[in-house]
Amino acid sequence: MTVQDTKLQTLADELRAHTGRFTDKQFDWKAFPSNVGFDELSRAQMRYIGAGGSPKVGDNTTLKPDNFTLSLIYKEPGKYAACHSHEIEESFLIIDGALIVGWEKDGDVVEVNLGPKDMILNVREIGHGFRVDGVEPVMMSISVDVGKPLPPVYHYHPKEHPPELARAFGAQPGRTQVFDRTSSHPLQQLIAKYVVRHSELKTHWDDAGFSRKIYCGPGGVEVDTCRKEMLGIPSRVGVKPFSRDVEDAFLVLEGSLTVGWEENGEKVEIELGPRDLVKTPAGRKHWFRNNGAGHATVWYIVGSGSPELVKFEAA
Ligand SMILES: [Fe+2]
């Protein structure tokens, strides 16, 4: 069922149509035309909201984006993504594995190794690439804003550059630096503002009984598009219905989460497991609760970078 072109009869139908189930979806190994013919660039994409960096915007199994897209990317050891840039903001949240992300400027490259629950926000127009040097594949969630969905501009694609230069994101030998927050190099200082380590982020305990780590937006990395948080929701904790003037989305990383919608006094619910998502449109009353025995870890995106206006109340 698609949100775009289906007349939905009931609130329950509508909630189901705004749900992306991991097991209903498939990874697409042909999402990125620029990778065709380059085995070392291969990666698979699973689209939840919009097309992300892929030109496959007509995929009607994905949810229609408003202010952000969300997809999963799977990449195997030894593979990389060539250095490119966009005129949009793009975040990488690592779910499994370790990912090297490199930023390039004037032939210098800074490489940072990101682990599970770490994030980087790739700022507009900065050359960036990524590579899996570890022994296990990487699963990550990518979100971009939908301002101007132009194709990426490649800076060091193996089509035009020697393979070793492309794999190093454009760094000649000796021009790669390991990420170092204390370095005075301008590129190190720039990337340091956009690397988020889960272990370094303050844990805020919300009065409603769950924890929040603010990745993007006021309190986290400065953005002008979307707020991004990681929620930790203990067993049997939930919140009362709330609504926003923009859309939001819950992507479950661990445990399970029940998401509910309310309209004209009618209430419907759906339970999400790992890698399931619900996108709630602007204006819709909704809530969440963890009915499970274990805690839930949830990636939460709100379609605006402005300060939080919702005051959550324990249900
Ligand atoms: Fe990118």
Mean pLDDT across 162-183: 97
Query: Which pLDDT score, from 0 to 100, does residue 36 have?
Result: 92
Centre of ligand 1 to C-alpha 195, Å, is: 15
pTM, two decimals, is 0.95
Percent residues over pLDDT 70 in the chain? 97
Centre of ligand 1 to C-alpha 144, Å, is: 9
Centre of ligand 1 to C-alpha 35, Å, is: 13
- State the residue for tokens 């590579």: 131
Mean pLDDT across 244-272: 97
| Ion ligand 1 nearby residues (CB, 5 A) | 90
80-116 pLDDT, tens digit each: 999 999 988 999 999 999 999 999 999 999 999 999 9
Centre of ligand 1 to C-alpha 122, Å, is: 7
Query: Which pLDDT score, from 0 to 100, does residue 7 have?
Result: 62
Compute the mean pLDDT over every residue in the chain, rounded to the nearest whole number: 95
Query: Which pLDDT score, from 0 to 100, does residue 1 have?
Result: 46
Query: Which pLDDT score, from 0 to 100, does residue 52 have?
Result: 83
Ordered structural domains, the chain, with CATH: 3-10+25-199 (2.60.120.10), 200-302 (2.60.120.10)
Mean pLDDT across 33-56: 92
